[in-house]
Amino acid sequence: METPADPFYRQLPKVELHAHLNGSVSSETMEQLIARKPQLNIEHSMTAIRSGQRRTLDECFQVFKVIHQLVDSEEDILMVAKAVIQEFAADGVKYLELRSTPREETKTGLSKRRYVETVIEAIHQCKQEGVDIDVRFLVAIDRRNGTKVAMETVKLAEDFMLSSNGVVVGLDLSGDPTVGHGRDLLPALQKARNCGLKLALHLSEIPSQKEESELLLDLPPDRIGHGTFLHPEVGGSDTLVDKVCKQKIPIELCLTSNVTGQTVPSYDQHHFKYWYTRGHPCVLCTDDKGVFCTDLSQEYQLAASTFRLSQEDVWDLSQQAIHCSFAPEPVKQQLEQKWAKLRPVCL
Ligand code: 6MZ
């Protein structure tokens, strides 16, 4: 991140609902990971895309493969998860839903169950250390791993939903959108829904996912990630838009990620405009703050300057995000109270 956001955006209390753990690792933490594993010969330029640069989505997915080599043990996961949580808190994020794909690594003896336990441990440690942020966890399904793994992931998420004291609240469907089809994951997603897990699904991140989105919108998901190609102006359809609007499904919008990954040609053509002007619930998010060299304050400032939002509009956006979260109702009320206390007098 080259220039930090203006004080208004940094001081704004914020809710982050779309953040992939390994994509959120900051350059400072990355330096430490690289120093720990010199034998991998990884340079920092391979783990982040500096602002102003553009990559294809496929190139972005190569970056995650490099990061996964650097984060492959319990120790690494604890370190990155704690650092990511502290960084979001330092950026004024008061409520965070972190998501990550459980991985097993034979080399280090890491199992998927330990992976999730370690993220939960990091969340607990941050709480004990008094970091001012409420953190929840979404267990992620990587779409390229197919039906069987998706089912196993749902089972894992369900177990933790029951045993984690409210930390695990839902399931994310993510991964390279050019690989696999949602049809094969439908039984797993239905199972997740039936057992009470909330669903945050990446939908229509690329144009060819129209049929898949129609199918997945009937679940329905509780939130949509990106939804870049849902509306007719970009090759989506009125049917898709109707489904999203009738069910009032909030959309997680990640400006820098989409422009850097070139699924959106420029900031002013971002689909934020389409959904926001319709009054549809929109939540600004970072996606992968480490890889895309951004933070949430920066994303709010970008949206404000691109779409001419007033400070009041920005405040309302951040406050509405509370109600798009998967937090239990009493937590939402506490957050509302926090926002009321922090509201600047000038608004
Ligand atoms: C789809 C994405 C993504 O799970 O190892 N991920 N999936 N679209 C995106 N847009 C750029 N950005 C990240 O974090 C990295 C993983 O998150 C998903 C991919 O599956 C990636 O491997 P975790 O913590």
CA-proximal residue: ligand 1, atom 19 (nearest) = 175
Per-residue confidence of the chain (347 residues) as pLDDT tens digits? 567 889 999 999 999 999 999 999 999 999 999 999 999 999 989 999 988 899 999 999 999 999 999 999 999 999 999 999 999 999 999 999 999 999 999 999 999 999 999 999 999 999 999 999 999 999 999 999 999 999 999 999 999 999 999 999 999 999 999 999 999 999 999 999 999 999 999 999 999 999 999 999 999 999 999 999 999 999 999 999 999 999 999 999 999 999 999 999 999 999 999 999 999 999 999 999 999 999 999 999 999 999 999 999 999 999 999 999 999 999 999 999 999 999 988 88
Matching residue, tokens 């979260």: 325
Q: How far apart are CA 220 and CA 156, in angstroms?
A: 21
CA-proximal residue: ligand 1, atom 3 (nearest) = 175
205 is catalytic: yes
Residue 123 near residue 163 (C-beta atoms within 8 A): no
**Ligand 1 pocket, residue 287 CB under 6 Å:** yes
Q: How far apart are CA 241 and CA 231, in angstroms?
A: 6
Angle at CA 34, nearest 5°, toward 32 and 37? 110
Collapsing DSSP to helix, strand or coil, 134 comes out as strand
Residue 92 near residue 297 (C-beta atoms within 8 A): yes
By most ligand atoms within 8 Å of CB, the mutation choice from 64, 70, 206, 228 for ligand 1 is: 64
Total length of the chain? 347
Helix axes 27-36, 74-90, angle to 10 degrees: 160
Catalytic residue among 87, 105, 205, 299: 205
First to last CA, the chain: 28
Return the pLDDT at 170.
98
**Ligand 1 pocket, residue 19 CB under 6 Å:** no
304 CA → ligand 1 middle, Å: 26
CA-proximal residue: ligand 1, atom 2 (nearest) = 175
Q: How far apart are CA 55 and CA 254, in angstroms?
A: 15
Neighbours of 239 (CB within 10 A): 14
User: Which of these, 173, 186, 103, lies nearest to 147 by C-alpha position?
Assistant: 186
Return the pLDDT at 308.
98
Q: How far apart are CA 237 and CA 82, in angstroms?
A: 41
**Ligand 1 pocket, residue 24 CB under 6 Å:** no
Residue 271 near residue 264 (C-beta atoms within 8 A): yes
Angle at CA 206, nearest 5°, toward 202 and 210? 80
Would you give the DSSP letter of residue 255?
Answer: H
Note the ipTM here.
1.00
What CA–CA distances, in Å, run from 195 to 10, 94, 214? 38, 28, 23
Return the pLDDT at 154.
98
Return the pLDDT at 346.
85
Return the pLDDT at 2.
60
Return the pLDDT at 328.
97
Residue 135 near residue 167 (C-beta atoms within 8 A): yes
